[in-house]
Amino acid sequence: MYRMFLHSKIRDVRITGVNLEYEGSITIDKNYLDKSGILPDEEVHVLNVNTGTRLITYVIEGEAGSGIMELNGPAARLGMVGDRIMVLTYAMLTPEEIGKHKPVIISIGDEQFCGKKCSIPISD
């Protein structure tokens, strides 16, 4: 029998944009996807800490280093720019896999808005 377990989580991140005129999904910075192991087109659960809403959608890969975390299409109605969210994926595991499984959990925090700003050299 397979059982469902947390596979990966991106936490401490904020919505950077909402785009109602799109078919649907969430656009996520490629760097966050790489760190968490989440793949483009993968199903994700998006939990809005500010509103308590939870939605299921799929991932679109955003520009690396952009900090983008954008709700698209109908999902755009479930969050506002600045809302704190978590993005989760799950995996179905066999009893043999359960004991060895370790979910990947990354915390973004201030890194989200550092990106390009922090790469600008500071002049004297």
Q: Which of 8, 25, 36, 66 is catalytic?
A: 25
Which is it for strands 3-14 and 104-107: parallel, antiparallel or unpaired?
Answer: parallel
Q: Which of 2, 22, 32, 58 is catalytic?
A: 58
The question of whether 36 is a catalytic residue gets the answer no
The question of whether 58 is a catalytic residue gets the answer yes
Which residues are known catalytic residues?
25, 58
